[in-house]
């Protein structure tokens, strides 16, 4: 059995000291939003408890689907690298960036450079998307939907080349008999988010998966606990989102959570059980207990 943990959207805080010239862009909106909203709803206290519980599990690997930072300041990006190193060695955790990691032009390049060991594929020397990491019976395929966008936008895009390479990789990995997991930040299904937060070319991901197939898709971005599906060549492919890893109970979005996937079997006869672990919506005060919230058997095509 292979045990995989999925978490997303930690939005690490607090924001570091910020110079005025760093806010002369879209960052000023994120700066205001942090201090008005996220500074209260997303705190290290809840994140630290969640991580402690996750690290107590006998994990084989961790999948992290983006939005490590808030407005992509250089100090945020370097602090996120140090935080990653406390979670797991790069060989045991795979990462894809989110829209907040690419908040302004140039930020994504700096983030990818800083976090490179966590998003570099097998036999590669530098990050290139999509990447592949083979771990036991599992192949993790990292897709980047992160792009700098304009004010009041949180859209993503994968592009034609990346979607084409994704299709080809999935076909190759199918021939290898591996359990294929696609990781990206933005949801690929239709009507998953508001127009200003969508994956603008999500149809490219759906087309690649419908032709080549995969066993599981993991994403973040919406801060919701959702289980949906998109079409694959042999049936619906599960699409799973997890709430923000730092969200406190008592707010609009569900409190901090991560998912555990127990993967066993072989090609043509895979079994995948999913366990949701996190805080109860009623636990508004610390100390609170991370617990098993639900279990599901995923239907694998």
Q: Looking at residue 38, what is its pLDDT?
A: 72
59: burial class by Cβ within 10 Å (0-12, 13-18, 19+)?
middle
**Token pair recorded at residue 79:** 């602090």
User: 10 Å Cβ neighbour count for 72?
Assistant: 27
pTM for this prediction: 0.95
Contacts (Cβ under 8 Å, ≥6 apart) of 211: 167, 233
Report d(CA 301, CA 291) in Å as an integer: 30
User: What mean pLDDT do residues 9-19 have?
Assistant: 85
CATH fold for domain 2-298: Purple Acid Phosphatase; chain A, domain 2 (3.60.21)
Q: Assess contact for 242 and 225: CB atoms under 8 A.
A: yes
| pLDDT band, very low/low/confident/very high, at 264 (cuts 50, 70, 90) | very high
Report d(CA 251, CA 37) in Å as an integer: 10
115: burial class by Cβ within 10 Å (0-12, 13-18, 19+)?
buried
Q: Assess contact for 232 and 196: CB atoms under 8 A.
A: no
Q: Which helix (H) or strand (E) holds 44?
A: helix 44-55
Tens-place pLDDT, residues 120-148: 999 999 999 999 999 999 999 999 999 99
Q: Looking at residue 40, what is its pLDDT?
A: 65
**Region class of 81: left (phi > 0), else alpha (psi between -120 and 50), else beta:** alpha
Percent of the chain past pLDDT 90, that is, above it, reads 83
Computed over every residue of the chain, the mean pLDDT equals: 93
Q: Looking at residue 28, what is its pLDDT?
A: 74
Tens-place pLDDT, residues 196-230: 999 999 999 999 999 999 999 999 999 999 999 99
Q: Looking at residue 42, what is its pLDDT?
A: 67
User: What mean pLDDT do residues 283-290 have?
Assistant: 74
Report d(CA 10, CA 299) in Å as an integer: 28
Q: Looking at residue 190, what is its pLDDT?
A: 94
**Token pair recorded at residue 196:** 């200003």
Parallel, antiparallel or unpaired: strands 131-135 and 179-183: unpaired
Tens-place pLDDT, residues 241-253: 999 999 988 888 9
């Amino acid at each position: 059995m292979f045990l995989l943990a999925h978490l997303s959207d930690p939005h690490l805080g607090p924001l570091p000291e910020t110079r005025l010239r760093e806010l002369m862009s879209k960052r000023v909106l994120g700066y205001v939003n942090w201090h008005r909203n996220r500074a209260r709803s997303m705190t290290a206290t809840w994140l630290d408890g969640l991580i402690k519980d996750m690290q107590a599990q006998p994990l084989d690997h961790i999948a992290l689907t983006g939005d490590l930072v808030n407005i992509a300041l250089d100090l945020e990006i370097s602090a996120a690298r140090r935080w990653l190193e406390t979670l797991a060695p790069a060989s045991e955790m795979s990462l894809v960036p989110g829209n907040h990691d690419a908040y302004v032009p140039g930020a994504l390049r700096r983030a990818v450079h800083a976090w490179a060991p966590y998003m570099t594929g097998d036999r590669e020397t530098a990050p290139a998307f999509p990447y592949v990491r083979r771990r036991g019976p599992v192949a993790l395929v990292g897709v980047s939907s992160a792009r700098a966008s304009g004010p009041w936008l949180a859209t993503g895009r994968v592009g034609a080349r990346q979607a084409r390479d994704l299709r080809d990789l999935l076909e190759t990995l199918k021939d290898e008999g591996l359990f294929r997991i696609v990781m990206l930040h933005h949801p690929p299904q239709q009507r998953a988010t508001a127009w200003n937060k969508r994956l603008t070319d999500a149809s490219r991901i759906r087309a690649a998966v419908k032709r080549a197939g995969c066993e599981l898709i993991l994403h973040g971005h919406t801060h919701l606990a959702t289980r949906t599906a998109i079409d694959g060549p042999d049936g619906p492919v599960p699409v799973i989102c997890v709430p923000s890893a730092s969200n406190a109970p008592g707010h609009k979005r569900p409190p901090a959570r991560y998912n555990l996937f127990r993967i066993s079997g072989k090609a043509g006869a895979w079994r995948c059980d999913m366990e949701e672990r996190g805080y109860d919506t009623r636990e508004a005060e610390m100390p609170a207990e991370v617990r098993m919230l639900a279990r599901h058997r995923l239907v694998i095509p």
